[in-house]
Structure formats: structure tokens, C-alpha cells
């Protein structure tokens, strides 16, 4: 078998056209959607991610503002910046680029973001709402994976999904989203005994570990769907995922490549959440205006 390639780049391209239209409507009838990105320190990977997000905002017509701070910024100053952005009516989404320096209490920073502007979906209230099945914002990477599965009509109900990785930004929300769609979900971690015994039973495997070639062809059931979230840099500079692509594509029914798989979808889902935040803000503003005109 030679797996069908699920190209995130192609699906993301389709979404972009739809998003551009929504931005145009908002801008022409109300105001331009705005995203604020907070960057602390000089982590080179974070700088690249932030640059790409700002570039995509530009391409779609979203206003983006990057707030860069030195690595020794205080907790108090960072919290103040978030309060200012919460109060700024021209900013609809706020994103704090992770990781943050060790002296910063990340949980307190994320919890300070107004939930209606938490476009990453990491605020504890949004995490709780996701667990309860009514998330305000879905975390972008697993949300992108769900869109990829939907695009190829991959059935989820009653299917066995194995998520490898339990991080707050990928593995856990991924498992919750699959569960919500009726999949039977197993979550594996670095402590899991005999990983292959789980993945071999899976109809859908989502790899999110950051370990090169962790999933090999012999660990996959014929015809399974394999989603590779991992982004790893090889010593020669090339990017690869967590899946040994050439071997697994011989066994799987569907597979995502790296690069060009989940990565392009993540950024598009961030744009989607930002536009959604702006659309909700417009609906609230209109409701308030209607009420005050009736008084
Ligand atoms: P993370 O916080 O480091 O979590 C990695 C998870 O993998 C942990 O839960 C860990 O288990 C588990 N793990 C590690 N080795 C394992 C093994 N041998 N067997 C089973 N599980 C194992 O990483 P993350 O932030 O979730 O990111 C995961 C990967 O996705 C990284 O490569 C990252 O760059 C990539 N990523 C990609 C995108 C995208 O847009 N494509 C977005 C975010 C992240 P323990 O909990 O037991 O340690």
C-alpha cells in the first residue's frame, strides 16, 4: 500500500482564501481584525515563528503588532502589557509566544489574557471549556489536525485513535478533540510500556513527541491514518517529523508529510481564531449599540 498524502499546505491554501474573505467583510463593515504577539527574549526559533505569524497576518489583511521584550523583563511588566492589550479595542487576539524565560510564571501570564482574546486557547477557562465540550477557542495545532481529518472524510466515530504525547499545547487537547468526535482515545507518553502494542491497534495515530523516527512501519496497522505533528531539525539542517516517513507510508492509508503537513495548518487556525474573536467582538459591539439606541 502507498498512503495518500494529506497535504497541509494545500488544505491551508484553501482556508486562506475563505479567511481573506472574512477579514475583508470585517474591515469593510466594521474594523480590521487585530492580533498582538508578545515575544520575550531572543530564542531564534520563537523569532522565526513570530515573523511567520506576522507575515501571514499581512497576507490575509489582519493587523498584527509584535511586542518584543528583553529576556529579563519582570513578571509585573509583562502582566501590565497584557492588561493594556486586554483593554485595547483594536486588538482582538493576544498570543504569548512560548517558551518564556524561567523567571516568568507562565500560568499566571496565560491566565491574565482576557478569555475572549485567548486565540491560542491556552487560558485555564478555555482548557476547561474544551474538556467540557464547548471550547471558546480550540488550540491551533490539534484544531488544524481535526480540519485535515475532516477534509479527507476520515471517520472518527468509534475509531481507535492513539495520541503519542501529552503536552498541554498538542497531546492533551488533541485527545479531547478526538474524544469529542466519538473516537476511542488512548494517550501514550514516554512512560508507556510497549508503545508499538498501542499504535498497532490504532485506526488513527497522532505523533507529537519531538522524537525523530519514533514511529516506524512495523508499528502501524495497514490502512491506518498517521498524523505527524513533530518538527525536528536533523544535523544536516533538514526538517523531519516523528514518523519514519518512507517505511510508514508503505503501511498507512493516509499520512501527513513534514514539512508541509500540520505546520501550515497551525498558523491558519491561529488566523481563524483571531478572525472569530473579531467577529464575536463585532457582534457584542452591535448588541450594545442596539440596546443603547432603545434606551
Ligand atoms: P513536549 O511538550 O516536549 O511533549 C512531548 C511529549 O512526547 C511528552 O508528553 C512526552 O512524554 C512524549 N514522549 C517523548 N518521548 C516519547 C516516547 N519515546 N514515547 C512516547 N511518548 C514520548 O512537546 P510538544 O510541545 O507537544 O511538541 C511535540 C512535537 O510537536 C515537537 O516536535 C514540536 O516541535 C512539534 N510541534 C509542532 C507544531 C506544528 O505546528 N506542527 C506545533 C507544536 C509542536 P512525557 O510527558 O512522559 O515526557
In a domain, 123, yes or no: no
| Whether residue 152 is found in the same domain as residue 100 | no
pTM over 0.75: yes
Which pLDDT does position 119 carry in this prediction?
98
Which pLDDT does position 295 carry in this prediction?
80
Pocket of ligand 1, beta carbon within 6 A: 141, 164-167, 169-171, 188-192, 195, 208-211, 214, 229-232, 262-263, 266
Q: Look up the CATH number of the domain holding residue 176.
A: 3.40.50.720
| Whether residue 178 is found in the same domain as residue 258 | yes
Question: Mean pLDDT score of the chain, rounded to an integer?
Answer: 97
27: phi then psi, degrees, rounded to nearest 5: -65, -40
| Whether residue 63 is found in the same domain as residue 150 | no
Q: Look up the CATH number of the domain holding residue 84.
A: 3.40.50.10860
| Whether residue 145 is found in the same domain as residue 256 | yes
CA–centroid distance, residue 59 to ligand 1 (Å): 30
Q: Furthest-apart CA pair in the chain: how many Å?
A: 69
In a domain, 2, yes or no: no
The one catalytic residue in 81, 97, 118, 242 is 97
How many domains is the chain built from? 2
Query: Stretch 150-167: mean pLDDT, rounded?
Result: 98
67: phi then psi, degrees, rounded to nearest 5: -110, 105
In a domain, 129, yes or no: no
Query: Whose grid coordinates read 495520541?
Result: 163
In a domain, 259, yes or no: yes
Which pLDDT does position 294 carry in this prediction?
87
Indicate if 97 belongs to the active site.
yes
Query: DSSP 3-state assignment of 52?
Result: helix
Indicate if 211 belongs to the active site.
no
The neighbour count for residue 1, using CB atoms within 10 Å, is 10
Which pLDDT does position 223 carry in this prediction?
98
Domain of 76?
31-118
| Whether residue 108 is found in the same domain as residue 180 | no
Query: Whose grid coordinates read 501571514?
Result: 56
| Whether residue 146 is found in the same domain as residue 258 | yes
CA–CA separation, 75 vs 70, rounded Å? 12
| Whether residue 148 is found in the same domain as residue 225 | yes
Indicate if 53 belongs to the active site.
yes
Amino acid at each position: 500500500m502507498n498512503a495518500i498524502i494529506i497535504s497541509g499546505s494545500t488544505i491551508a491554501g484553501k482556508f486562506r482564501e475563505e479567511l481573506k474573505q472574512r477579514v475583508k467583510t470585517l474591515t469593510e463593515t466594521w474594523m480590521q481584525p487585530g492580533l498582538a504577539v508578545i515575544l520575550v527574549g531572543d530564542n531564534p526559533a520563537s523569532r522565526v515563528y513570530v515573523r511567520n505569524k506576522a507575515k501571514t497576518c499581512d497576507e490575509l489583511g489582519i493587523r498584527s503588532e509584535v511586542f518584543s521584550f528583553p529576556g529579563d523583563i519582570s513578571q509585573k511588566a509583562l502582566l501590565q502589557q497584557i492588561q493594556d492589550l486586554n483593554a485595547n479595542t483594536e486588538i482582538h487576539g493576544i498570543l504569548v509566544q512560548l517558551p518564556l524565560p524561567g523567571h516568568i510564571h507562565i500560568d499566571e501570564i496565560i491566565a491574565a489574557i482576557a478569555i475572549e482574546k485567548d486565540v491560542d486557547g491556552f487560558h485555564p477557562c478555555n482548557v476547561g471549556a474544551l474538556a467540557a465540550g464547548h471550547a471558546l477557542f480550540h488550540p491551533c495545532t490539534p484544531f488544524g489536525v481535526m480540519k485535515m481529518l475532516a477534509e479527507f472524510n476520515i471517520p472518527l466515530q468509534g475509531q481507535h485513535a492513539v495520541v503519542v504525547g501529552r503536552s498541554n499545547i498538542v497531546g492533551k487537547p488533541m485527545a479531547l478533540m478526538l474524544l469529542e468526535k466519538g473516537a476511542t482515545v488512548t494517550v501514550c507518553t514516554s512512560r508507556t510500556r510497549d508503545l508499538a502494542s498501542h499504535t498497532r491497534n490504532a485506526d488513527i495515530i497522532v505523533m507529537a513527541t519531538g522524537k525523530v523516527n519514533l514511529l516506524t512501519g512495523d508499528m502501524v496497522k495497514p490502512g491506518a491514518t498517521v498524523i505527524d505533528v513533530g518538527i525536528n531539525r536533523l544535523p544536516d539542517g533538514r526538517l523531519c517529523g516523528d514518523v519514519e516517513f518512507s517505511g510508514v507510508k508503505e503501511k498507512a492509508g493516509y499520512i501527513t508529510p513534514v514539512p508541509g503537513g500540520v505546520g501550515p495548518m497551525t498558523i491558519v487556525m491561529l488566523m481563524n481564531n483571531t478572525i472569530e474573536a473579531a467577529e464575536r467582538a463585532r457582534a457584542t459591539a452591535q448588541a450594545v449599540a442596539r440596546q443603547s439606541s432603545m434606551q
